[in-house]
Amino acid sequence: MPEKNFNIFKIKDYQVIIFTAIVLFVFYLLSYLVDIHNIYGIRDWMVEHQDFNVPFLWNYLFAEGAPVEILQWLFIGLMTMSSAYIAGIQAGRGSSNSSIKRFWLLFSILGVLMIMEDAGNVRHFLTVRGVLLFRDEMIYRSITELSYFGLMALLPVIALLKYRHQVFKSRRTAVILLAGCCFYALAVGMSGTRDIRFWYQTAGTIFYDWTVELGGEELALIYEEVDSFLAEGGHISIRYRFMDFLVEESLELLGAAFLWASTLAFLEDQSIHAKE
């Protein structure tokens, strides 16, 4: 009887996690060298270049639609495809595997909604073109976004509460999946409450002051000029961007990587049991 290998990607879960950690480390290191220490004069070049309104490498790498978020979309798409693939395999095996099928089917649907949200900012549409037209207090924005995220979270919550038992027989899958959910839950919690008492601005000040302490007066002057430009255009400040881009996008990338890795871990576990 031929051996079955259900992992069609030929990629191991730990490879995805290590790759993601390396990408983040390299991006952090490059941002530190370029934005704080102006290595090879790259920061000066970005300041002088008209296409960089916010002349910092970390902003270029971690902003919306930037490399880090694009990688998130890739991982979420692969997670969606893997989850649907697993659900299809289980459907072909019959009713005895229905809980596994439903578990991964819910996660595949979640993946579609996550891509829609990440790429299309559905929650911003609901708040800016909906609630904020009638209630301009920022607390209503937070309530709307948290409610929206809460509805999305029902899918994994139902999957985890009702259908997890067969899936979590693979401890490796359980640990990786729960880690991915925790990263996303933290990012979503931060994003949904970011305007309550303006805590993103306050937390971002920590990064702001720390980088100025390392980068000196020259960096402080650039910050002031860029913040002035951003304020004139009605854009979010550097302090806010540290949290919204650097911190939040990092957590989302880790969440996406761990979620995809969890599907690979489950496929690997299924392959091992098929050989027994």
Q: How far apart are CA 133 and CA 161, in angstroms?
A: 37
Give the model's pLDDT for residue 158.
96
- Give, in order, the Cα–Cα distances in Å from 216 to each of 44, 49, 148: 14, 22, 42
pTM: 0.90
DSSP, residue by residue, 85-124: HHHHHHHHH-GGGHHHHHHHHHHHHHHHHHHHHHHH-HHH
Give the model's pLDDT for residue 91.
86
Helix (H) or strand (E) holding 209: helix 199-232
Torsion of Cα atoms, 256 then 237 then 32 then 215, to 10°? -160
* Cβ within 8 Å of residue 142, ≥6 positions away: 192, 193, 194, 195, 196
Digits of tens for pLDDT over the chain (276 positions)? 344 667 778 899 999 999 999 999 999 999 999 999 999 999 999 999 978 899 999 999 999 999 999 999 999 999 999 999 999 988 887 656 789 999 999 999 999 999 988 877 776 666 665 665 556 666 666 777 778 888 899 999 999 999 999 999 999 999 999 999 999 999 989 988 887 888 999 999 999 999 999 999 999 999 999 999 999 999 999 999 999 999 999 999 999 999 999 999 999 988 776 665
8 Å CB contact between 199 and 193: yes
8 Å CB contact between 256 and 72: yes
Q: How far apart are CA 86 and CA 95, in angstroms?
A: 14
**Cα 30 to chain center, whole Å?**
20
